[in-house]
Amino acid sequence: MYTLSHNELLGWLEERDEAALAPLFARADRVRSEHVGGAVHLRGLIEFSSYCGRLCAYCGLRAPRRVPRYRMTREEVLRCARKATQLGFGTVVMQSGEDFGIAAEWVADIIRTIKRETPLAVTLSLGERRPEEFRLWREAGADRYLLRFETSDAELYARIHPARPDETSNRIALLRQLRDLGYEAGSGVMVGIPGQSYQTLARDLELFSELDLDMIGIGPFLPHPETPLGAPDAPHAGAGQVPADELMVLKTVALARLLCPDANIPSTTALATINRVDGRERGLQSGANVVMPNLTPHPYRQMYEIYPGKACADEEIEQCAHCVRGRIARIGRRVGSGPGARAHACAVAQ
């Protein structure tokens, strides 16, 4: 069990000297090795719909943007899942905007087919949905659900992620509901949201532990330039603002590993986007143990533009998979086999 006080978290988050941070990264890497081993699990991402009904102030898929939208067919999604099996991945991640134009039963049928025809685990990342839909998908065989709470600061969350009309957004309650249904529950945050303080980010880390998360995603805040928070005239926070840079992300990943030793933590595409040279590797050396290569076929991949310039967006699927395996091997790690489920409960910090 690893404990860090709130003040200790703040101390590490505010530290900017990389030499002083070396012991933190080394400890996180050691804890990763002790609790989840040297395997790096590959989760193949299928971005099957770019439709979204939300008004998130940073996301390129937000409803008001007049851009081409798509929904993949059932057979296109299944081809991606079969490709994941051929490439030796253990999991597929079915992701979309909050698209209520896709029937819940359509998703359930794809889940059943993937589970029947392949050895893959199925992770869903479809946003906030109704309880009966969560239940249907779990009964169909879905293993995991990703729902980022983005920030533990309720006021900040409401500013960047407005609730749908006549509804109250409570992702923390939904994460607990998902756990009760038997899903492995995943969540995460953006680092560097305008208005995010170090105190808030420390609280985010504590919440990872309190929620006993199975998966934790941490990436830099990368707003699309055609959104309110990405526009040139967007307001910027002043003193005490958490930067949206690589070092800040790596510190947060390392601290999450210490607080939740058994969790699956990806080295994210967003991190690789801000450091294309060795961003993925640095994430893996700071406590991460998962990479999510993109299985979405062209041209859909370019149309799923949450933010522009995403790493690997132009690569073919096989090329991306080969590159990821090479990067993993170069840092002395190996690609994991099987679905890579979390083995134990997350340690709760006191």
Q: Write down the H helix ranges in 224-278.
A: 246-259, 269-274
- 327 within a domain of the structure (yes/no): yes
- 285 within a domain of the structure (yes/no): no
The token pair at 133 is 């839909």
pLDDT along the chain (350 residues), means of 10: 89 97 98 97 98 96 96 98 97 97 98 98 97 98 98 95 82 97 98 97 97 97 96 80 97 98 97 96 98 95 95 88 95 96 54
CA distance 272 to 310: 8
- 66 within a domain of the structure (yes/no): yes
- 184 within a domain of the structure (yes/no): yes
CA distance 77 to 323: 23
Render 39-95 in DSSP notation, one character per residue: EEEEEEEEEEE-------SS-TT-TT------B--HHHHHHHHHHHHHTT-SEEEEE
- 174 within a domain of the structure (yes/no): yes
- Domain enclosing residue 230, as ranges: 42-241+292-335
Q: In this predicted structure, what is the pLDDT of residue 305?
A: 96
- 282 within a domain of the structure (yes/no): no
- 24 within a domain of the structure (yes/no): no
Our count of domains for the chain comes to 1
Please say whether the beta carbons of 32 and 24 come within 8 A. no
**CATH number, residue 73:** 3.20.20.70
Cα three-residue angle 113-116-117, rounded to 5 degrees: 85
Q: In this predicted structure, what is the pLDDT of residue 314?
A: 86
Residues constituting the chain = 350
Q: In this predicted structure, what is the pLDDT of residue 2?
A: 74
- 23 within a domain of the structure (yes/no): no
Q: In this predicted structure, what is the pLDDT of residue 45?
A: 97
Instruction: Using a cut of 0.85, tell me whether the model's pTM lies above it.
Output: yes
Residue 136 backbone phi and psi in degrees, to 5: -60, -45
